[in-house]
Structure 1
Amino acid sequence: MSLRKLLCTAAVAAFLVTVTPPAGAVEQSQPDEIDALPFMPAPATQVWATRSLSAQPGQQAPQFLRLDIARLTPRFVTSDSPGTVTITGSIVNVGDRKVSDIVLRLERGESLDTEDDLRKALREPAAAEAVQPKFTPIAGSLEPGQQKDFTLDVPLRGTDPTSLQVDQPGIYPILANVNGRPDYGGQARLAALSTLLPVLGVPGGETKGKPGAVAKLTVLWPIADKPRLVRLGGPGQSELVDDELTTSLSVNGRLYGLLQAYEQAITSMSTGMCLAIDPDLLRTVQAMSTGYSVRGGAEGRGEVEAKLWLDRLKLAVAGRCVVALPYADADLVALNRAKLGTMRSLAVTDGPKLIKDVLGVQPLPDLVWPEDGVLDQSTFDELVTPQPDKRYTGVKSVLLDPSGVADAPGTAPVVIGGQHPVTAVKIDSMVSDALQGSDSRPRTLSGVTSPVESQPVSVQNALAVLVFRAGWQGDGRNVLVTPPRRWNAPLSEMTEFLAAAQKLVGSGYAAQTGLEELTESTPSVTNAKVAYPAEAGAREISTVISDSVTNQSVQLNGLVAAMQQEDSEHAAPADLADPLWLGLLRAMSGAWRSNEQGARSAADISQGEINGLTGMVGVTQPNSPILLGSGDSPIPVTITNKLDVRVTVRIALADTPGIRKLDLADQVLPARGERVVRVPVEVLRSGRFPVNVRLTTPEGVALGDSVKLEVSSSAYGTITVIVTVIAGIALVLLSGRRIYKRVRARNGENGGAPSIENVTPEKSSA
């Protein structure tokens, strides 16, 4: 076939694809005709009929419409629920061309009866083609950028053309399916949202019977944020990276919503709820409540909001269950890999003390909930092993994801054996993961999306899984629910989920179980092992960041070793160093997983704070050049210590041609003191010398900046004098030897006769 024929054939094919509606698509009709003639469903896998000419096979089809669901009611169907499902939202034209004949319907699939079916539905939207009701027209057309709000009422049961025909309890996949006709294309699905609808009882129909052994429900509610504290100080002296916490702590903010949802649920879930608090967030909010500034010099705006939120938190946790997260939610495995054992211990010991001091409540002791609920064997061994000095007694219980525990069937707590046995309480990963939403999941080629964490109906899938656990499994399992550490769901979604939990407890499908009861139980399985999934390692803080933090820890250790407390009225070295250790933990926070830039920024901040401390000790620049009176005159160097502790320093002179530094003992600088130290040197020649001087600790940690001294000397040094004397003696000896040789040479020429100069002339005769 010739090239011209190939091109013609391709052009005809492209024209047919563009103008011909795909199989199964509906013919265009006016809105008033839609009610009389229902739209036929577009196939579940069908996308817009035409693709961009530049699109390659396998690429995502262009998007034209976006479906935003603002409300779905009821979220959890019981026998006393309304007989209809109502969805409210909007359809937005996000494409580059007009879309006509926009219609919507709610479809459903077959009930998901097994845990495997549910897990598959959480990974990928389940098929919802068992019942495909009549489409309802939404808009005749939408131009690019236009939006159309809608409310759709769908009967749960019955023979209505739009009914979901739900006759029995179950966990049903439902699909909000939007069809439309883009310009230059055919009718097809252009947007869809898939989720799960739990039906525990059909209104006017059957209700799911209560299980023989009810689920044991525990909720661990996280109060955490990414690290924001730069420097902790007195009233008005603390500094934060930014002022975003002000918004989060204010009405309608994220942290405000988390606390409000907890307050609303605690009255009826007092046993089964526990707060997991990041101590670093608590310290930051406490600092904000006394006044603070934002990096760059701006005054913080959230003093009032911080104080109100902190007061409410104190009231809410009084006498309640509290768990301390690792300080700054530090990545314990990454700390262990970097061999930062002291920091790892600090991460799990400093938090409980702070929570008790600030909130007046004792967290559950010796308990760790690591990032992602997993630990590698080495980190686990380090965490559970007490230190010989008894300052660290070791972890006694851990909260782990089921993937982090091996040889441990079931949902009950187990013992991880070894020299120091530990109780492992397993998290319900299916419920907890569903609360994460689908932010990280790509849009499928069929245009179907799942609920997103920060949007309405984001907890719907998790709510359905929770109902399945309580209503269908009936094996008395433990259900420990742990929302994401920095959960960003709207307040309405948080309260919706907790309301469903309360309803399950109140109706007898679940029973509250305290977290302390789980950690103190006597497990029947005592030979479980720690497991560390390969994918967990990929999510750790990167080695680039951990190497930076390791270098900073070496620097800080060297500085601390050079400090001594002056007296009881002055600061102790720990008073200055401990805030910097906590700053290093912020750089290793699990909040920076998948956020390399955030981790780098935190590491830069901690390095800047260490540099600020070392910069308080250094050499003072003299006002004029230094003139040395002799070759062995010492160089006077003024050293200053602005810290409130005594510091041992070493004076380091850079190699300078013409000057040799002699040995000098380490110097002890008093707290907030200054000394002039005469540094012994050997001047090898006269002239002017630029001498670079700086201080270090005995371990070699640089203190302050290097200072250039201008040193002048017109005198010879001892070595120079000795060399000159030796040279003079040698010159005299060489000169005498030369004179001697010349005399001997002349005597030899006269044959031994006296020199002519010594002969008396004879008188001449007459």
Structure 2
Amino acid sequence: MQVVTALAAVLGVVALLLLPGVAAPASAVPETSATGADPAQQSSPRFARIVIDSMTPSIVTTTSRPLVTVSGRVDNIGDRSISNLSIRLERGDPVSSASGLRTQLADDDPAIAVAGPFETLSESLAPGESVGFRMSMALSAGSGPDGQGLGISETGVYPMQVNVNGTPDYGNPAQVAGSRMLLPVLSLPPDENRARNYVDPTDETGSPSVPGLGPDGSVSADLASPARMTMLWPMAAPPQLAPGVLGGNTEPVRLINEDMARSLDTGGRLNELLKSLQKVVGTPPREESGPPSSEPPAESPAEPAPAAMPGSEKLAESMCLAVDPDLLVTVRAMSLGYEVSTNPADPTSAARPGNGSEIAGRWLDDLRWTASRMCVVALPFAQADLTSLARIGNTGLTESALRKPADIIDAILGVRSVRGLSVPALGAIDDAGADALAEAAVTSVALASNSVAPTGRRDDTGRYRVGRLTAQTFDAPITASLAAIGTAPSTPALTPKSQQVDLTDESTGSRRQSAIAALAYPAIAAPQPDSADDSGPRNPVVGRSAFLVPPTYWSPTVADSDALFATARLLLESGAATPTPLPSLVQELNTAGATGRLTDPPGVGPVGRIGSVLTSQATAAIRRNVEDSWQFEGALVRSADVAATPERYMSPLREDQLRAIRSPDVAGSAVYTHLRRLQEERIDAVASTLHRLGQSVTILDPGGRYTLASERSPVLLAVRNDLALPVRARLTTSAPEGVEIGDLGVIEIPARGTRQIQLPTRGETSEAVTIDIRLATVTGVPLGQPITLQVHTNAYGKPLFYITIVAGVALVLLTARRLWHRFRGQPDPADADRPEPDELERMLAGSGYQERRRTLQGEGRPPGEEPEDHPHDP
């Protein structure tokens, strides 16, 4: 009878466990699935969505209430009604490594350590309808009003899930919605059950109590080794300047669209980022009138700035503003007036006036004020990919991307930014990228921990010597958690498949809660003891290193930022974390003792393939464009009439090539295809502008046939320069044999003007010849179109020379013969046929003019008439 009774009891328990909607006992929960239903039904489609409004407390401390309360709503997003809706709260085991911050949320079937009872939510929910919920559960086991609790007795970061079961029309009972988040437990409030386990540390007879356990059952935070907190605050945006536009205010600034103006305006992403940051350092005073200034504002000690939020001093000390210089270049250009191109791929296309100049000027003034009160570090220009820079192999371009950004930041913001540290957008580099950093004389780099493999003992500060560089590592899963918040949640490219969370299933509240937990994780998860085995899956950064690097293009709202700042202030004020200014961190990197090597992040792939979309054809085109731009710049001359310098005039074209190789912020074939299309547009636009520059300086073709006045007459030419700066050039000629053309050397052609040139020419033939004339810069860039002249030199050449010599010799000989006969008193044979003069002729030959006149008149001859010839007398 006792056997039958026991068997009936066992069958009853089994039947109870098989009923849908009934939770298993805590001891049996770890063996069940996350859905709370049959595992075979877990692949069924989702019919509903859970929207989390809040979780209270967002971080558990000794002063928190002993209850965890979650509120929100359930939306029916399917096309069927759902009946018998029930809801419960579940938790898993605390995450043991940074990767668990994402894997616990991405796992389709996470293990459940504790689950609360299902509560009825709604009898029926039609498509498009919503139902709100609010449920609470005790932190400790057995301390809730219903005798159940989450059973949390130690500090850590715990995965939580809100699970909703129901029966869709034409379906079976199943999980219809689920939402996961993380609950950080820094310390625990008093608890009677835990107090029973307290052992006075002075009592040597009792067994040791739980670490941090107080006599009232509270559990204190581990403050023995505070986390060294350094948090970057990225301020960047995808490139917005239209390509192929020259700089120095010589051409109207063009943008590809008005997205930047919307981002800078109230409610925009960049405006929200700056407004949130001002809650830490203070808000700049507003001037009542006056246009926005394009220069750094002068300090005004007479008007103190509004104070920041209380308790923000340590937080401000730990934060550093990370700015993309391309963003500053764009916003400053906008503040001075700009246009929006109708076809960004064509630099000469039509454009319409931009509407965001005032907005850009105001935002830039606010940023200057904010930057003057905190640490600032420059990001690589336009988030250029380091591997791509190495492939292109242009030293000047590499320096423009990695070394000059700090100078740009300082010039525009009026600050002195942190030097020596590069923060690649991808978060990882390969050996080629390391060579690019070394070439630019950058000695330190911030890298994701999964891209650095320690070659010796792991370092809890996350600092390693990697070849010629020193690296400060950060946890990529924390970066992924921060990327998931805001108006445009994303998954960074370095995130392995196992850590990729479906963000479409998670609401703003759940994503924000997970980001709070990720931020707190380094201060909560204490490092393993020195004697611990380092051969496990522990990441290089675990525990007390809190170097926090959000993604470059992240989009937190003011509410998201407030929650993150509140958590950071709590950690700093409690002593679980201590502020570490970025300049101090960079200085300490020089003393890094642990060694490591670069590696491809596990589960992601080669860094060079992830971060670069550069093809071999694009590499050659960029290299050619950059070289041509440098050569053209070398031929330009600064003019007092133009504010632009040759460097400012040409640098936008090289900056366009940096924008063309920006790192992808997320992975995926669609993203790479889009970036390659933009890359081709920028390369082609720059090539088009360089061609236009070359055609803007040309020789004016005189046309027709050119006749020289003599064999040494110069050829007269005119050259025209339509550029905004003077250019130094050379003429090169090609002429046939018999024509020599002198070299004029370097000629300077004035800006937007013409210059006449006399080309020294010497002809040795009287025939028409063809002369080819070309114009090029002193650096070898061809200018304009070559011209061909038909030139007649009006010279006879060698035949005339020989004839002249022969005639001269003959004249000398004949003269010598006549003199020879005269000296000898002999008549010249050439005079043999000449008649002898008569008496009258002899007389006239010896008389004067008047006498000859009278004599001839007496003879009856006109004064000028000669006498008739008559034969000589015998």
TM-score bracket, shorter-length normalisation: 0.7 to 0.9
C-alpha displacement of 1:103: 2.5
1:508 alignment partner, one of 564, 575, 586? 575
Q: Which secondary structure state, in structure 1, belongs to the residue aligned with residue 355 of structure 2?
A: coil
**Relative to 1, partners in 2 of residues 1:469 and 1:44: Cα closer, same or farther, differing over 3 Å?**
farther
Residue matched to 1:758: none
1:358 aligns with 2:412: yes
Residue matched to 2:397: 343
1:118 aligns with 2:100: yes
2:555 alignment partner, one of 476, 488, 509? 488
**Relative to 1, partners in 2 of residues 1:501 and 1:183: Cα closer, same or farther, differing over 3 Å?**
same
Question: For structure 1, which runs of at least 5 residues remain unmatched after alignment?
Answer: 1-22, 28-39, 50-61, 386-391, 723-766
C-alpha displacement of 1:483: 0.5
C-alpha displacement of 1:541: 2.4
**Separation in structure 1 between the aligned mates of residue 274 and residue 795 of structure 2, nearest angstrom:** 78
C-alpha displacement of 1:493: 1.6
1:412 alignment partner, one of 450, 454, 461? 461
Residue matched to 1:434: 481
Using the size of structure 1 for normalisation, the TM-score is 0.73
Q: 2:265 is aligned with what amino acid?
A: S
In terms of mean alpha carbon deviation, does 373-382 or 312-321 score higher? 373-382
C-alpha displacement of 1:276: 0.8
Q: 1:410 is aligned with what amino acid?
A: D
Deviations 1:119-150 (A, max 9, x none): 5425536334631521432472333xx24252
**Separation in structure 1 between the aligned mates of residue 504 and residue 57 of structure 2, nearest angstrom:** 16
1:457 aligns with 2:510: yes
**Separation in structure 2 between the aligned mates of residue 703 and residue 516 of structure 1, nearest angstrom:** 49
1:177 aligns with 2:248: no
Residue matched to 1:761: none
Residue matched to 1:473: 526
2:239 alignment partner, one of 222, 227, 235? 227
Matches within 5 A, 1:305-344: 305-344=359-398
**Relative to 1, partners in 2 of residues 1:565 and 1:516: Cα closer, same or farther, differing over 3 Å?**
closer
**Separation in structure 1 between the aligned mates of residue 59 and residue 316 of structure 2, nearest angstrom:** 22
Residue matched to 1:285: 331
**Relative to 1, partners in 2 of residues 1:127 and 1:248: Cα closer, same or farther, differing over 3 Å?**
farther
Decide whether the 8 Å contact of 2:229 with 2:546 is kept in 1.
yes
Residue matched to 1:369: 423
C-alpha displacement of 1:89: 4.0
**Separation in structure 2 between the aligned mates of residue 217 and residue 278 of structure 1, nearest angstrom:** 22
**Relative to 1, partners in 2 of residues 1:573 and 1:312: Cα closer, same or farther, differing over 3 Å?**
closer
Decide whether the 8 Å contact of 1:364 with 1:516 is kept in 2.
yes
1:298 aligns with 2:377: no
Decide whether the 8 Å contact of 2:383 with 2:425 is kept in 1.
yes
Question: For structure 2, which runs of at least 5 residues remain unmatched after alignment?
Answer: 1-16, 22-34, 192-216, 282-311, 343-350, 529-542, 667-671, 800-874
Residue matched to 2:825: none
Residue matched to 1:12: none
Using the size of structure 2 for normalisation, the TM-score is 0.65
Residue matched to 1:19: none
**Separation in structure 1 between the aligned mates of residue 665 and residue 549 of structure 2, nearest angstrom:** 19
**Separation in structure 2 between the aligned mates of residue 43 and residue 664 of structure 1, nearest angstrom:** 95
Q: Which secondary structure state, in structure 2, belongs to the residue aligned with residue 488 of structure 1?
A: coil
Q: Which secondary structure state, in structure 1, belongs to the residue aligned with residue 403 of structure 2?
A: helix
1:543 aligns with 2:589: no
Decide whether the 8 Å contact of 1:695 with 1:702 is kept in 2.
yes
Q: 1:543 is aligned with what amino acid?
A: L
Q: 2:572 is aligned with what amino acid?
A: V
**Separation in structure 1 between the aligned mates of residue 220 and residue 373 of structure 2, nearest angstrom:** 36
Provide the identity percentage.
Answer: 25
C-alpha displacement of 1:693: 8.9
2:471 alignment partner, one of 421, 424, 444? 424
C-alpha displacement of 1:309: 1.8
**Separation in structure 2 between the aligned mates of residue 309 and residue 44 of structure 1, nearest angstrom:** 54
1:244 alignment partner, one of 245, 259, 270? 259
C-alpha displacement of 1:675: 3.9
Decide whether the 8 Å contact of 2:775 with 2:786 is kept in 1.
no
Q: 2:107 is aligned with what amino acid?
A: E
Deviations 1:339-365 (A, max 9, x none): 122111122232222222222221112
Residue matched to 2:136: 154
Decide whether the 8 Å contact of 2:427 with 2:447 is kept in 1.
yes
Q: 1:512 is aligned with what amino acid?
A: P
Decide whether the 8 Å contact of 1:154 with 1:162 is kept in 2.
no
Deviations 1:407-441 (A, max 9, x none): 362132646376xx654322233422322337449
2:272 alignment partner, one of 257, 260, 264? 257
**Relative to 1, partners in 2 of residues 1:210 and 1:560: Cα closer, same or farther, differing over 3 Å?**
same
Decide whether the 8 Å contact of 1:427 with 1:481 is kept in 2.
yes
Deviations 1:557-593 (A, max 9, x none): 3323433446797854323222322222222222577
C-alpha displacement of 1:486: 0.9
Q: 2:125 is aligned with what amino acid?
A: S
**Relative to 1, partners in 2 of residues 1:304 and 1:199: Cα closer, same or farther, differing over 3 Å?**
same
**Separation in structure 2 between the aligned mates of residue 580 and residue 488 of structure 1, nearest angstrom:** 29
CA RMSD of aligned residues (A): 4.6
Decide whether the 8 Å contact of 1:451 with 1:460 is kept in 2.
no
Matches within 5 A, 1:579-658: 579-591=652-664, 594=672, 595-619=675-699, 626-627=704-705, 638-649=718-729
Q: Which secondary structure state, in structure 1, belongs to the residue aligned with residue 611 of structure 2?
A: coil
**Relative to 1, partners in 2 of residues 1:106 and 1:244: Cα closer, same or farther, differing over 3 Å?**
farther
Deviations 1:718-749 (A, max 9, x none): 99xx9xxxxxxxxxxxxxxxxxxxxxxxxxxx
Q: Which secondary structure state, in structure 2, belongs to the residue aligned with residue 543 of structure 1?
A: coil
C-alpha displacement of 1:629: 6.4
Q: Which secondary structure state, in structure 2, belongs to the residue aligned with residue 485 of structure 1?
A: coil
Deviations 1:475-514 (A, max 9, x none): 7722100100111233322221221111111122221111
Matches within 5 A, 1:722-761: none
**Separation in structure 1 between the aligned mates of residue 686 and residue 665 of structure 2, nearest angstrom:** 15
**Relative to 1, partners in 2 of residues 1:443 and 1:650: Cα closer, same or farther, differing over 3 Å?**
closer
Deviations 1:679-712 (A, max 9, x none): 9999xxx99x9x99975446654445x5899x99
**Separation in structure 2 between the aligned mates of residue 487 and residue 524 of structure 1, nearest angstrom:** 32
**Separation in structure 2 between the aligned mates of residue 361 and residue 241 of structure 1, nearest angstrom:** 29
Higher Rg of the two aligned structures:
2
Q: Which secondary structure state, in structure 2, belongs to the residue aligned with residue 41 of structure 1?
A: coil
**Separation in structure 2 between the aligned mates of residue 443 and residue 323 of structure 1, nearest angstrom:** 28
1:214 aligns with 2:226: yes
Q: Which secondary structure state, in structure 2, belongs to the residue aligned with residue 228 of structure 1?
A: coil
**Relative to 1, partners in 2 of residues 1:76 and 1:663: Cα closer, same or farther, differing over 3 Å?**
farther
Residue matched to 2:121: 137
Decide whether the 8 Å contact of 1:648 with 1:668 is kept in 2.
yes
1:670 alignment partner, one of 727, 749, 752? 749
Q: 1:41 is aligned with what amino acid?
A: G
C-alpha displacement of 1:48: 6.1
**Separation in structure 2 between the aligned mates of residue 635 and residue 256 of structure 1, nearest angstrom:** 63
**Relative to 1, partners in 2 of residues 1:422 and 1:100: Cα closer, same or farther, differing over 3 Å?**
closer
C-alpha displacement of 1:238: 2.4
1:559 alignment partner, one of 632, 639, 654? 632
C-alpha displacement of 1:100: 2.2
1:41 aligns with 2:108: no
**Relative to 1, partners in 2 of residues 1:551 and 1:571: Cα closer, same or farther, differing over 3 Å?**
same
**Relative to 1, partners in 2 of residues 1:283 and 1:334: Cα closer, same or farther, differing over 3 Å?**
same
Decide whether the 8 Å contact of 2:233 with 2:320 is kept in 1.
yes
**Separation in structure 2 between the aligned mates of residue 111 and residue 151 of structure 1, nearest angstrom:** 25
Deviations 1:578-617 (A, max 9, x none): 2322222222222577433333334344444434433432
Q: 1:298 is aligned with what amino acid?
A: R
**Separation in structure 2 between the aligned mates of residue 239 and residue 101 of structure 1, nearest angstrom:** 57
Q: 2:70 is aligned with what amino acid?
A: T
**Relative to 1, partners in 2 of residues 1:398 and 1:626: Cα closer, same or farther, differing over 3 Å?**
same
Residue matched to 2:85: 103
**Relative to 1, partners in 2 of residues 1:566 and 1:187: Cα closer, same or farther, differing over 3 Å?**
same
Deviations 1:434-473 (A, max 9, x none): 223374499999x984588994432433422343322231
User: How many residues are treated as equivalent by the alignment?
Assistant: 653
